[in-house]
Chain A
Amino acid sequence: MEAAALTGPPAWLERIVLLAIPPAAREAVAGDLWETYRSPRQYAGEALRTVPFVIASQMRRNLNLPALMLHGALVFLCLGGPAATLLLPALMLRDAYQATARPCPQHAFRDSVLLASGVMILLLQISVRFPPGVRSGLDAFAWLSLFLQALFLSPFLCLFRAGLIMLGDRKVPIAASDLPLEELVRNYRDFTHDVRRRNLLQAAMLALAAVCAFFFAWNVMLAGLFLLVAFFLLLDTAPFPPACDFVSLRARYQQALARQQQLRRFLRWLWFAPALMFLQARLIESSLTAGRPVAAMLGSIAAVILCFLVMALNREHGGRVQEEIGALDRMRERLTPAAG
């Protein structure tokens, strides 16, 4: 088999194929395609026949149905039925293509600067196109202060990302080295304890938030969703498997890590949902009905910034979990003298 791959595919073609393969399967599938490379035509044809199966398989593998349904309910509550119908397949596709590493700092800062620049350009457009009277009743001074605040958005977002990166760096990663079975068992046991503890804590906080929401006659459906998720968290555990070997336990550990990552990602969105719903109801919808397009635009900008913060949190945490899954993939069993 090895002798067949004398040369590799053209770089541009390989880049396209690499982009199409979901990251979790990229290393193995791209390597297999390279190994059987004969000509650009054969390579492209083989990739076209193979990649759809790989995408479908990754979608199925990463499908955490309860988390997806809860996420769908949240999108339905915040954005309505059509958005939920469109977003559910998009969420599944996003799960299939989730990155296998933390975002690199350069990309994280570039995203922050891009978003802040976009906000500045939008504000500039509004100030040029709309006369002062239409700017949601803001006088020139208030408008200028808003503009100056937007100037500080870029450093603020960069600092936020830098803080997340530093927090991630402080966490001790799973070493991708040889490990005796007993130590892997200990690691997995610690992980399951941690999951149980965090689930209990989050369930209590969600239940408390739901009770407060009922008390203050807040959005009843969202409060109900908080209660439902609290109940789900109490039931959701990462059970410890019966006696099994190193490879089986490692696979179980990887599945549990991926599952918990999806759940945590959803929970972050859930905690920010009240703020997003508030922005949508009070700033965007009411401004639109009152005929104040600029206020609606400012509300949308605030919602986009909030979404950016949640996504940044999710990317950092998700990347770290995927790195742990990758490290487990490369881990080998170290036989102790007694076992050997």
Chain B
Amino acid sequence: MPPLDSLGQFEQIVLTAILALDDNAYGVTIHAKVEELSRPKKASRGAVYATLDRMEDKGLITSWLSEPTKERGGRSRRHYRIEKSGEKALRESARTAQRLFETIAQNLGGLAWKPPR
């Protein structure tokens, strides 16, 4: 098990996307959600696949193949699910981000929104 604070920024985004998509988390939807979350930056689908593989190897997420569907040329989807260790790592990252946000807001001020507590 890797240390909990070892999540990179892109890993945080991909994990958050899987969390938000719940049962509908597979390549296409995860990539779309990642693009939405990382705006205005673009994210390549290949980078999303590589990150998903890496996080699966770390035990943060697990995947399985669905039944083949017509709209995918008779191919299956690889669905992803966040694991307990993934949830824990994401919570830790969120707490760090919150501390950063608060420190920046105190020193620079004028940040338009506050993160939910």
B4 at interface (Cβ–Cβ under 8 A)?
A: no
Smallest Cβ-Cβ distance to B78: which chain A residue? A28
Choose one: A5, A28, A250; the contact of B76 (CB below 8 Å): A28
Q: Are B50 and A34 within 8 A (Cβ)?
A: no
Bin the interface of chain B by size. 20 to 34
B46 at interface (Cβ–Cβ under 8 A)?
A: yes
B47: chain A residues at CB < 8 Å are 53
Interface pick from A43-51, A71-79, A157-165, A316-324: A43-51
The CB with the most chain A CB atoms within 10 A, among B26, B75, B76, B78, is that of B75
Min C-beta distance of A15 to chain B, whole Å: 12
A80: chain B residues at CB < 8 Å are none
Within 8 A of B (CB), among A221-266: 247-248, 250-251, 255
* Interchain CA distance A58-B62 in the complex, whole Å: 16
Min C-beta distance of B11 to chain A, whole Å: 14
Min C-beta distance of B71 to chain A, whole Å: 4
Smallest Cβ-Cβ distance to B51: which chain A residue? A57
Q: Are B57 and A1 within 8 A (Cβ)?
A: no
Known: A53-B46, A248-B83. A61 touches B28 (CB 8 A): no
Known: A5-B71, A32-B45, A248-B83. A56 touches B50 (CB 8 A): yes
Q: Are A330 and B65 within 8 A (Cβ)?
A: yes
Smallest Cβ-Cβ distance to A53: which chain B residue? B46
* Interchain CA distance A114-B39 in the complex, whole Å: 55
B72: chain A residues at CB < 8 Å are 5, 31-32, 34-35
A35: chain B residues at CB < 8 Å are 28, 71-72
The CB with the most chain A CB atoms within 10 A, among B31, B54, B63, B65, is that of B65
A247: chain B residues at CB < 8 Å are 62, 64, 81, 83
Bin the interface of chain A by size. 35 or more
Within 8 A of A (CB), among B23-43: 26-29, 31-32
Q: Beyond A50-B44, A50-B49, A255-B57, list 13 extra A-B contacts (CB 8 Å).
A: A27-B76, A28-B65, A29-B27, A31-B72, A31-B73, A35-B28, A35-B72, A49-B44, A51-B46, A53-B45, A53-B47, A61-B53, A247-B81
A-B contacts, 22 listed (Cβ < 8 Å): A14-B73, A29-B49, A31-B69, A31-B72, A32-B28, A32-B45, A32-B72, A32-B77, A35-B71, A35-B72, A36-B28, A50-B44, A52-B46, A53-B44, A57-B49, A60-B54, A247-B62, A251-B56, A251-B59, A251-B63, A255-B57, A330-B64
The 10 closest A-B pairs by CB, nearest first: A53-B46, A31-B75, A28-B78, A31-B72, A32-B27, A50-B46, A57-B50, A34-B73, A247-B62, A2-B71
